[in-house]
Amino acid sequence: MVEPPRAVSQENNRMSDFPTRANVVVIGAGIVGNCLVGHLARLGWTDLVLLEKGPLPNPGGSTGHASNFIFPVDHNKEMALLGEQSANQYRDMQMSVDSGGIEVARTQARMDELTRRMTSAKAWGIEAHMLTPSQVKELVPFINEDVILGGFHCPTVSVVDSLETGTTMRREAIEKAGCQVFANTEVLDIETAEGAGGITTVAAVVTDKGTIEADYVVVACGVWSNRIANMAGATIPLVPAVHQMADVGPMDVLAETNNEIGYPIVRDMDTFCYERQSSGSMEVGSYGHRAILHHPDEIPSNAEAALSPTEMPFTPDDFDDQMETAIELMDMLGDAEIKYAINGLLSLTPDTMPCLGETTEVRNLWSAAAVWVKEGPGMAQVVAEWMTHGYPRVIDVHGADIARFYDQERSDEHIWSRADEHFIKTYGIVHPAEQWEGRRNLEVGPYFSRQQDLDATFFQARTWERPQWYGVNADLVERYGLAEREVEWDNRWWSPITIGEHLNMREHCGVVDLSSFQIYELDGPGAIEYAERLAVNKVDVAVGRSIYTPWLTPDGGFHSDLTMMRLGEDRMRIVTGVFDGGRDEFWTRRHMPTDDSVTFTNITRQLTTLGLWGPNAPAVLSQLTGQDLSQDGSPYGSIIDAEVAGLPVQLFRISYVGDTGWEIYTAWENGPALWDALMEAGADLGIRPTGGGVYGSSGRLEKGYRLMGAELESEYNPLEAGLARPRLKAADFIGRDAYHAAREAGDPEVSMCTLTVEDQTDGQGRSRHMMGGNEPILDADGGRIVDSHGRVSRATSAGYGPSVGKHLLMSYLPRELAVAGTDLQVMYMNEMYPVKVASTGAVFDPDDTRLKG
C-alpha cells in the first residue's frame, strides 16, 4: 500500500525531503517571514527553510485578515521611513494601489494634530494637504461634512495585497536560494546548546515533521512569537490584541467604482475608526473599543477556529459605539448589512514599537515580530541586513531593537498593562513627552522619598523614574520672572520651573539625580583590549582617566555614545544612559571574547550617582571633603577616589550641562546621606535639586551635547556629528574600516548644528515652542533639505536655552549651510518660523571656560 501523500505547501516540498539541518530556519510565513526569506536570498543567503504551522498561502495569522492599507505619515522616524520603504517595495512588486487617504477631524485638538501631521509629512517628503469639510466631501461624496472640521489628505496612502506579496517574496527565495518551504508544520520546541564561551546558542528546531539543526532561527510568528521564543528561553515582549473590523455592504456607490478601492480611505481619528472600501463593501475598523488582550494559548488552532485562528469571534457589544459614530459620518453605512465581523488579532508591545533583532537571551535566535502589514517588507529587510552586516543599513532601528527592553519590560504583567493603556492611543493624539499612567515606580533612585517630599514631577525613562523638575522650586519662577507657555500643547508635560532650575544652576548650583545611569564593568586581562575594540577613541589611558567615546556599527555609524573610565590596569567602567542601557549591555556582551579573558558585571544597582554642577559646586563640595578640587587636583575628565561627608565616593570631573562640577559615584546605600550632606552644605550657596529638564534638555542644548537616539543614529558618523578626534587610533575597533574610509573621503557631507529660532510667533500671534520631534528644517523657499544619501535635515532635539535667551534646535545640515549666520526656516504645526545657524558646537560658553577655566 502506498502511503497517502502528506500536505505540503504549493512550493512542493515533500515531507520525505524534510531537512535535518539548515543555515537559517524562519518560523512563520506571514508577510514578515515571507519577505524575510526573500530579502535573505537577495543578500546571498542560502540553505534557508521556511516553516509554517498553517496552510499556504493564508496560514491564518494576522496577515490574512489585515486591512492592508498604508498611511505613510508617522511622527516616528523609524515607523515613517520603514513604512515608506515597505510601500515602495509593494509598489515595485505591483502589489499596491494608491487609493489616497484622509484623516478627518471632529475636534479642534485633532485639527491641531493634523497640522502636526502636515509637519511630519513635510519632514518625510510625503505629499499631503489640509482639506476643508467640503473638499473632503468632493473626494468622499458619501461623507457627512457637517460632523467634521476638516481633513488631512495624503494621496499616496496605498492598499496592498499582503498575501500575494508574501507569496511572491517566498517564491523569489525559492528560486534564488532554494529556500525549502514546509506548511502545516508545527514547531514543538527550539533547542539550544552551550556555544563558545558558555553562551546559550540556538541549535535546532523541533517540529511535528522532524528536527532541523540550524545556525540561525528567526521567529516571525506574529501574535505567537513570544510563545515560540519562550521555547528557547527567550522573550519577545508582545501580546495578541483585538482590533475589531466589520465588513458592511453591499452599497451601490461603492460597487459602481468596479474597483477593489475607488475612494480614499477615511480615518475618523476622533472616534478611532476607519472606513476602507473593499469592492462593493466598506470595512469599518475600530481602535476605539476596550483593549481586548489574549494569551497566545487562547488562540485556537486552524482546525478549531471558525474562521481563522486570528479572526476570533466578534464581540458586538464592543463595537456598538463605533457603529453609531460611523453612521454619523456616513449615513449609508446604517442600512448596509454586516456580512462579516471579526475580533482580528494583531501584536502590541509595551512601548508600541516592533521587536527586531537578535534576542538577548539566545545567540542566533532572532526576532522579526510585532510588525504590521504596513511596515512588513521594510522591517524584513532590516532584519535581513542586520543578520548580514551586523547592523541594518536601510535605517537606524534603535527604537525597534528588541535589546532595548529591560527585564521588567518583558514580563506579562508589564506587556499587558502597557498594551491595555496604549491601545486606545492607536489613533490618539500622543504628546511627545506623554507619560505612562500604569507600571510606574518600577525603578527608583535611593533619593526617591526625598524627591517626593520636594514635590518632584517624575518622568519615566523606560523603567526608571527621574525627577523632571521639583515643585519646591516654584519660587524660582518668580525670581527669574518666568511664565507658563502660551499654548497648552507646548506647555503640556513642561513647567517653567525647569527654566528656573537652569538659571539657578548657572548662577549658584544644582544637584541632579543620575541614579538611572547604567553602569557596567569589564574586568580581566583582556578587558582593556576588548574595551578598545568597542570604542572609537583610545580608551587605553592612564588609570583614573576617562574617555567619552562613540561606539560604531560595522558600517561606521553610531551604535552608542557613552563614557568609559579606566579604573585599574585590567578594569574598565562603562557608563551609559538609561534609554540605551539594554542595547549597550547586549552589544557589550555580544562582542565579548569567548576565552574568559574578560568578565562583564552590571553594577547599576550597586552605585548611585549625583551630579553637582554650577559655579558654587566647588564651594559646596569643599566643605565636605579634603580632596583638592582645583583643576589641578581634580582635572576635567579625571575620576578620583575620595571621601565626601565621610562616605567613600568617586569624583568624576565632567559635565553634561555646561557648568563645572562632578558626577559623584557612591554605594547605593550611601546615597541618601550624600544627598543630605550636599543639600546642607549648599544651603547658603543656592543649591537646589535640579531635574531632568535641565540635564537632558536646556543645559545640554546650550552646550550642543549630542544625545544617542536623537542626534546620534547609525545613519550618521562621528565626522558628521562633529565628534571625530584629530587622529584615528591605531587599535582596531568595530566600524574602523568604514570610519577610516569616511575620514579619508574628506569633509563630511553634513554637520550637526545648533540653530536659534529667531521669531517664535505663529499666525495667531502666539509664541510657539518646537519640541525636537523631527520638525523639518527648510530653506528660504520652504524646500526640504536632503543630502545625497536621502537624509533629511530635521530638528533632532529642541528646547529653550535660558542662558542664551533663544529657543534652540539641533539638526544636521549640508556643509554649505552649516555656517553660523545662515538663515533657514523650521516648520512647526504646519507654520514656518525663521531660524539661524548658530554653531556646530556650543552656543553657551563655547570655550568651556566654565568647565575647565
Q: Does position 314 bind another protein by CB under 8 A?
A: yes
Residue 471 identity = G
Among 102, 128, 248, 824, binds another protein (CB under 8 A): 248
Q: Does position 255 bind another protein by CB under 8 A?
A: no
Nearest residue (CB) to another protein, 6 versus 740: 6
Q: Three-state DSSP class for 246? A: strand
Q: Does position 298 bind another protein by CB under 8 A?
A: yes
Closest by CA to 369, choosing from 348, 344, 392, is 348
User: How far apart (Å, rounded) are the C-alpha atoms in residues 788 and 671?
Assistant: 50
Q: Does position 569 bind another protein by CB under 8 A?
A: no
User: How far apart (Å, rounded) are the C-alpha atoms in residues 589 and 592?
Assistant: 5
Residues 218-247 that bind another protein (CB under 8 A): 246
Nearest residue (CB) to another protein, 251 versus 829: 251
- Would you say 41 and 172 are in contact if contact means Cβ atoms under 8 Å apart? yes
Q: Does position 252 bind another protein by CB under 8 A?
A: no
CB of 303 to another protein, least distance (A): 4
Nearest residue (CB) to another protein, 6 versus 591: 6
Q: Three-state DSSP class for 80? A: helix
Among 336, 415, 552, 785, binds another protein (CB under 8 A): 336
Residue 438 identity = G
Residues 10-39 that bind another protein (CB under 8 A): 10, 12
Residue 76 identity = N
Burial letters 429-441, b for 16+ CB under 10 A, else e:
beeeeeeeeebee
CB of 307 to another protein, least distance (A): 8
Among 97, 159, 212, 312, binds another protein (CB under 8 A): 312
Task: Dump strand ranges (E) for 524-598.
Answer: 546-552, 558-568, 571-576
Interface stretch with another protein, choices 272-280, 332-340, 349-357, 499-507 (CB under 8 A): 332-340
Nearest residue (CB) to another protein, 324 versus 732: 324
Nearest residue (CB) to another protein, 298 versus 676: 298
Give the interface size with another protein as a residue count (CB under 8 A). Answer: 38
Interface stretch with another protein, choices 17-25, 320-328, 354-362, 364-372 (CB under 8 A): 320-328
DSSP state of 738: H
Q: What are the strands of the beta sheet with 797-801, ordered from one edge?
A: 777-778, 823-828, 831-839, 750-757, 806-814, 797-801
Grid coordinates representing 789 are 544619501
CB of 185 to another protein, least distance (A): 13
Interface stretch with another protein, choices 236-244, 336-344, 664-672, 834-842 (CB under 8 A): 336-344
DSSP secondary structure of 662-730: EEEEEEGGGHHHHHHHHHHHTGGGTEEE--HIIIIIIHHHHHT---BTTTB-TTS-HHHHT---SS--S
Q: Does position 539 bind another protein by CB under 8 A?
A: no
Q: Three-state DSSP class for 471? A: helix
CB of 300 to another protein, least distance (A): 3
Q: Three-state DSSP class for 12? A: coil
Among 327, 454, 619, 679, binds another protein (CB under 8 A): 327
Main-chain dihedrals φ then ψ at residue 360, nearest 5 degrees:
-75, -20
CB of 246 to another protein, least distance (A): 8
Q: Does position 121 bind another protein by CB under 8 A?
A: no
Among 107, 132, 301, 449, binds another protein (CB under 8 A): 301
DSSP secondary structure of 209-237: TEEEEEEEEEE--GGGHHHHHHTTT----
Cα distances from 725 to residues 536, 558, 563, 656, 751, in angstroms, run 9, 15, 15, 19, 15
User: How far apart (Å, rounded) are the C-alpha atoms in residues 54 and 66?
Assistant: 17
User: How far apart (Å, rounded) are the C-alpha atoms in residues 775 and 796?
Assistant: 8
DSSP secondary structure of 385-403: HHHHHSS-SSS--TTTBGG
Task: Say what the alpha-carbon torsion angle 593, 599, 604, 608 is, to the nearest 10 degrees.
Answer: -120
Q: Does position 306 bind another protein by CB under 8 A?
A: yes
Q: What are the strands of the beta sheet with 639-644, ordered from one edge?
A: 639-644, 647-653, 661-667, 607-613, 509-513, 687-689
Nearest residue (CB) to another protein, 316 versus 646: 316
Nearest residue (CB) to another protein, 333 versus 843: 333
Among 262, 300, 568, 593, binds another protein (CB under 8 A): 300
CB of 289 to another protein, least distance (A): 15
CB of 323 to another protein, least distance (A): 5
CB of 317 to another protein, least distance (A): 8
Q: Does position 296 bind another protein by CB under 8 A?
A: no
Q: Does position 333 bind another protein by CB under 8 A?
A: yes
Interface stretch with another protein, choices 97-105, 337-345, 352-360, 384-392 (CB under 8 A): 337-345
User: How far apart (Å, rounded) are the C-alpha atoms in residues 311 and 575?
Assistant: 47
Q: Which x/- pattern, by CB under 8 A, does the window 146-185 give for another protein? A: --------------------------------------x-
Q: Does position 595 bind another protein by CB under 8 A?
A: no
Max Cα–Cα distance, the chain, nearest Å: 97
Q: Does position 6 bind another protein by CB under 8 A?
A: yes
CB of 326 to another protein, least distance (A): 7
Nearest residue (CB) to another protein, 248 versus 843: 248
Q: Does position 304 bind another protein by CB under 8 A?
A: yes
CB of 299 to another protein, least distance (A): 8
Grid coordinates representing 299 are 488562540
Residue 194 identity = E
- Bridge-based pairing state of the strands 48-51 and 21-27: parallel
Q: Does position 302 bind another protein by CB under 8 A?
A: yes
Angle at 798 between CA 793 and CA 802, to 5 degrees: 140
User: How far apart (Å, rounded) are the C-alpha atoms in residues 436 and 419?
Assistant: 11
Interface stretch with another protein, choices 29-37, 79-87, 307-315, 482-490 (CB under 8 A): 307-315
C-alpha 754, offset from chain centre? 23
User: How far apart (Å, rounded) are the C-alpha atoms in residues 100 and 29?
Assistant: 29
Q: Quick count: other Cβ atoms within 10 Å of Cβ 741?
A: 11
Q: Does position 210 bind another protein by CB under 8 A?
A: no
Closest by CA to 101, choosing from 57, 25, 159, is 159
Interface stretch with another protein, choices 8-16, 186-194, 479-487, 720-728 (CB under 8 A): 8-16
Residues 407-466 that bind another protein (CB under 8 A): none
Q: Does position 403 bind another protein by CB under 8 A?
A: no
CB of 419 to another protein, least distance (A): 21
User: How far apart (Å, rounded) are the C-alpha atoms in residues 265 and 282?
Assistant: 10
Among 130, 199, 206, 305, binds another protein (CB under 8 A): 305
Q: Does position 326 bind another protein by CB under 8 A?
A: yes
CB of 251 to another protein, least distance (A): 11
- Would you say 798 and 775 are in contact if contact means Cβ atoms under 8 Å apart? yes
Among 44, 134, 252, 335, binds another protein (CB under 8 A): 335
Interface stretch with another protein, choices 271-279, 316-324, 647-655, 753-761 (CB under 8 A): 316-324
CB of 376 to another protein, least distance (A): 24
CB of 60 to another protein, least distance (A): 11
Binding site for another protein (CB under 8 A): 2, 4-10, 12, 184, 246, 248, 298-307, 312-314, 316, 320, 323-324, 326-327, 333-339
